[in-house]
């Protein structure tokens, strides 16, 4: 069962802006990379081919404490803090050399994807739930 994952990564030049710091939008990508790595670690894929479910993001947020710069190595630590019938909520902290860079949250919802129909929230399949769990100390207020 997986409930958290640490991803170590280096800032690429294309991720920086004219001021030489990582553009704020990339922090969301880092969180998503850690999410995908967590699912792989659990033996799952968040985008299984031919799947009739999807995982749209319904709420994302970051608070920034210091910038990341080109070639800095950092860690993205992602934790599952809530699993409900139809959604999963994560918390993420980004650190560099032990210093807090940013913290964020992301909520994803399990939806049915059917041709010519709008997405509709559905219960998370048991075969997925059997591989994921809330992190120790997690919970709705984490």
Residues with a known catalytic role: 17
Query: Which tokens go with 89?
Result: 């909520």
Pairing of strands 99-109, 87-96: antiparallel
The C-alpha angle 105, 137, 63, rounded to 5 degrees, equals 25
CA distance 134 to 99: 25
- The answer to whether 95 and 34 are in contact (CB under 8 A) is no
Pairing of strands 4-10, 53-54: unpaired
Query: Which tokens go with 15?
Result: 């991720």
């Amino acid at each position: 069962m997986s409930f958290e994952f640490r991803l170590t990564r280096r800032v690429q030049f294309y991720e920086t802006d004219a001021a030489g710091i990582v553009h704020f939008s990339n922090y969301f990508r880092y969180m998503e990379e850690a999410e995908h790595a967590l699912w792989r670690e659990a033996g799952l894929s968040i985008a299984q081919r031919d799947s009739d479910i999807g995982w749209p993001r319904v709420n994302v947020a970051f608070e920034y404490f210091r910038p990341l710069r080109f070639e800095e190595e950092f860690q993205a630590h992602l934790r599952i803090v809530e699993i409900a019938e139809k959604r999963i909520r994560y918390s993420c902290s980004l650190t560099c050399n032990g210093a807090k860079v940013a913290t964020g949250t992301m909520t994803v919802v399990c939806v049915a994807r059917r041709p010519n129909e709008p997405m509709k929230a559905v219960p998370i399949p048991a075969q997925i739930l059997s591989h994921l769990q809330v992190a120790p100390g997690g919970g709705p207020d984490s």
